[in-house]
Chains A and B, each alone.
Chain A
Amino acid sequence: MPEIHFILNHEKRVINVEFHETLLEVLREKLGVKSPKCGCDRGDCGACNVLLNGQSVRSCLILAVEVDGQEIVTVEGISKHGLTKVQEAMIDNNAFQCGFCAPGIIISATELLNNNQHPTIEEIKEALSGNLCRCTGYLPILDAVFKVSKE
């Protein structure tokens, strides 16, 4: 089994993986990082989103061995030192119901706000368009991100 070295949520990690294991499987099953969720397992829903070198990617479409030498951040890493503004805004806004989509959406919103502190509502919609939510109808989620954008 090959050994991969990567940075996960600001810590160096070394782990043995099988070639056929996806990053999502390794994060959840081998490393106990449970924020990325398995929704569709084929790249359509965004529930498994994580940041790879600062960019949001589908962890269900990446082989774990591909992240050797790279940096991964999940929601656990984002909120290491307390909730971020966008997380607070989601709570204030009652943005989620079941919450299954939440980690993926937080990842997409975080990437957007890192690149653009004051996105327009159109830019927010575009950035979150790859994240499916079965419960909310999206409006409270978009509003929450917009609230941070206006600060």
Chain B
Amino acid sequence: MSIIHDFEYCKPTTLDEVTDLLSQHGEKAKILAGGTDLVVQMKENIKMPDTVIDIKGIKNLHEILFEDNTLFIGACVTFRELIESEIIKKYFPLIKEMSQTVASMGIRNRATIVGNICSAVPSADSAPVLLVYDADIIAKSASGERIIPITEWFTGPKETALRADELVTGIEIRLTDTKHAGRYEKLGRYSGEDLAQAGVCILVFEDLHYNVAFCAVGPVPKRVFSVEKLLHGKVISDVLIEEAKHLLQEEISPITDIRATNEYRAHMMGVMFERGLKKAVSRLHGGVNA
């Protein structure tokens, strides 16, 4: 299938050029980084931009930085680069663990984590991990920059808090001082498949608080604050896990589609939550920082 409509393509080298183009064209302009979603959507006429703005020419959007205990991942950073980054491995191993589950090599070499959250499909692998880390999304427009907390980012299936005149320049995560460990559990039919049928991410802190988030079992990926509250301050026990699993079921609303039934997804969420929580706790006590 070819792309059957014409568009202008530009590859600016500065952010100001990008924001200028966005304020001129608004909805009609689309940002291109890895292209693994956008090109498919253009082929299927789901998106028909009149201008495609390739941001790969902007140098600092390719950076992974760690300064003042804060991680910055630029909008052009691919999953491959995250997997290979020493910074990620050392300080945010959960991001590496998640990235390794995204689709397959040929996609990870191109697809970006920022693109993944901008596409905002309910099954976005990056979402639960960024949610438990309390990431901030940096959005830029001609009128300035704003920070959008990840908890306010996903507004609906394939919908985000980003305005048409904005682009995401990167993601920021502050490393906490508290010792912690985590785990991302993903349910897929086989490795190499791009979509999670269900995903849950758990971050356990030494001071007994827990961050829990899911994807693919509701219209948007989200944090499960009720479960976090239940677990808060407590040492994990089998009774507590059962209680938490029960509560979790009330927070999710899985659908039946070609990949799995809602009953299966709901059941597996419980199983995966338990597995993930136990793994995260054992990692914490194994002394590995996440």
A residues whose Cβ falls under 8 Å from a Cβ of B: 2, 18-22, 25, 41-44, 46, 49, 52, 55-58, 60-63, 65-66, 108, 111-112, 125-127, 129-131
Which residues of B (2-55) have their CB < 8 Å from a CB of A? 2-9, 32, 35-36, 39-40, 42-44, 52, 54
A130 B104 Cβ-Cβ under 8 A: yes
| Listed A/B pairs (28) with beta-carbon separation below 8 Å | A19-B9, A19-B52, A20-B3, A20-B5, A20-B6, A20-B42, A21-B3, A22-B3, A22-B39, A43-B36, A43-B40, A43-B106, A43-B194, A46-B104, A52-B109, A58-B106, A61-B39, A62-B39, A63-B52, A65-B9, A66-B54, A66-B56, A112-B105, A127-B105, A130-B105, A130-B106, A130-B107, A130-B192
B residues whose Cβ falls under 8 Å from a Cβ of A: 1-9, 32, 35-36, 39-40, 42-44, 52, 54, 56, 80, 103-107, 109-110, 190-192, 194
Residue of B nearest to A25 (CB): B2
CA distance A66 to B43 in the complex (A): 16
- Distance of A13 from chain B, by nearest CB (Å): 19
CA distance A52 to B78 in the complex (A): 14
Contacts of A22 in B (CB 8 A): 2-3, 39
A43 B107 Cβ-Cβ under 8 A: yes
Report which of A20, A56, A58, A127 forms a contact with B7, defined as CB distance below 8 A. Answer: A20
- Distance of B109 from chain A, by nearest CB (Å): 4
B7 A129 Cβ-Cβ under 8 A: no
Residue of A nearest to B3 (CB): A20
Contacts of A42 in B (CB 8 A): 1, 40, 43-44
CA distance A107 to B57 in the complex (A): 26
Q: Given A65-B9, A130-B103, does the pair A57, B192 have CB atoms closer than 8 Å?
A: no
B52 A125 Cβ-Cβ under 8 A: no
Starting from the known contacts A19-B9, A20-B6, 13 additional A-B residue pairs (CB-CB under 8 Å) come to: A19-B6, A21-B2, A22-B3, A43-B40, A46-B106, A57-B110, A58-B110, A63-B39, A65-B9, A126-B191, A130-B103, A130-B106, A130-B107
CA distance A108 to B44 in the complex (A): 27
CA distance A22 to B32 in the complex (A): 14
